[in-house]
């Protein structure tokens, strides 16, 4: 543990930020998982609705630099392609 007050404060801030980022990453994974479940269920209209909500979550997380913008684009692209491939 740090000995200097400013270093102790920095450690507290880093831990708080780490927990927040982990929570946001978890939210991202849940959003992607929900879209995949909707796709597996076979209802294209429902899958599109879930996808639209997930895109907002993905974009928000990318805007906050928790994931890279290209990673967000890749997630959205792959999910969109899966939905388009549905019968």
The domain locations on the chain are 5-84
CA neighbor of 52 nearest in space, from 72, 76, 69, 71 = 76
Task: Classify domain 5-84 by CATH number.
Answer: 1.20.58.110
Give pLDDT tens digits for 25-81. Answer: 999 999 999 999 999 999 899 999 999 999 999 999 999 999 999 999 999 999 999
Confidence of residue 1 (pLDDT cuts 50, 70, 90): confident
- What distance in Å separates the CA atoms of residue 27 and residue 42, rounded to the nearest whole number? 23
pTM greater than 0.85: no
CA nearest to 57, candidates 45, 71, 68, 72: 72
């Amino acid at each position: 543990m740090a000995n200097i007050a400013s270093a102790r404060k920095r450690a507290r801030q880093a831990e708080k930020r780490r927990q927040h980022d982990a929570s946001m990453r978890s939210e991202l994974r849940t959003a992607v998982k929900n879209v995949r479940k909707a796709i597996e269920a076979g209802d294209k209209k429902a899958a599109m609705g879930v996808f639209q909500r997930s895109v907002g979550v993905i974009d928000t997380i990318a805007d906050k630099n928790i994931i890279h913008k290209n990673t967000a684009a890749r997630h959205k692209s792959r999910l969109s392609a899966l939905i388009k491939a549905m019968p």
